Amino acid sequence: MRPLIGICAALERARWSVWDLEAFLLPRMYVDAVQRAGGSAVLLPVDQGWIDDPGELLDRLDGLMLAGGCDLDPASYGAEPDPHTIGVVPERDAFELALTRAAFERDLPYLGICRGMQVMNVAAGGTLIQHLPDSHGHDDHRRVPGSFDGADHDVRLAAGSLAARAAGEELHATKSHHHQGVGEIGAGLEVTGRATLDDLPEAIERADRRFALGVQWHPEADETSRLIAALVAEAAEHAAAVRGG
């Protein structure tokens, strides 16, 4: 059986055909990347039952991926909102924070992408920088809103880290699209990747878990990236162990 990777879906207003409604959404690139790596992807909508009892869901998955998307509600990390923090969806935050904490407890293979890395940090008690142009003085992490054009920059990954092993190299070219970043690092997490352009943390991980990695860039937008394949491979090993081979 192919390993089953749950991917949390965004909750957004969307238009298609004649409809303009709230919808659960996920860019196809995430699913394509999982399938190319030999996994099966299932979209996870916000569900209060899974917030209350994440194990009901996680016990059925072999790996968990958190995708990019809207800003987290600053209330989730005890901060007042910055004027540039917009479009928050507290329902999604509560869902993804609950799943992240439970995945860590179960040692379920986990990959947080962009917003997903930020969720990972907040789930561990960390904070976020709400607008990088104000704190770092440039827009190079999101040069063209809504596009990865011109969004490439390098990240230096710590030797021997999970991030470096998953990427297959210590100097990694990335596709970036974010205006927020991690601030105070959450308990149990280690920064193992930093942007060469300004030293911003761009990879965090938990060394006491088999595969718990957050990256600030978008590997799903880069068909040469090995990161999602690394998650799928670890999920396959986890599935084999749980199923007895």
Q: What is the pLDDT of residues 19-37, one digit of tens each?
A: 999 999 999 999 999 999 9
Confidence at residue 7, expressed as pLDDT on a 0 to 100 scale: 98
Confidence at residue 62, expressed as pLDDT on a 0 to 100 scale: 98
Global pTM? Answer: 0.96
- Amino acid making up residue 174: T
Confidence at residue 203, expressed as pLDDT on a 0 to 100 scale: 98
What domains does the chain contain, in order, with CATH numbers? 4-242 (3.40.50.880)
Under 8 Å between Cβ of 124 and 187:
yes
Which residue has tokens 């690092």? 185
User: What parts of the chain have a pLDDT lower than 70?
Assistant: 245
Residue 177 structure tokens: 């699209």
Residues serving a catalytic function are 114, 218, 220
Helix (H) or strand (E) holding 173: strand 171-175
> How far is residue 52's CA from residue 55's CA, in Å, rounded to a whole number?
9
> How far is residue 170's CA from residue 137's CA, in Å, rounded to a whole number?
26
pLDDT tens digits for 230-242?
999 999 999 999 8
Confidence at residue 213, expressed as pLDDT on a 0 to 100 scale: 98
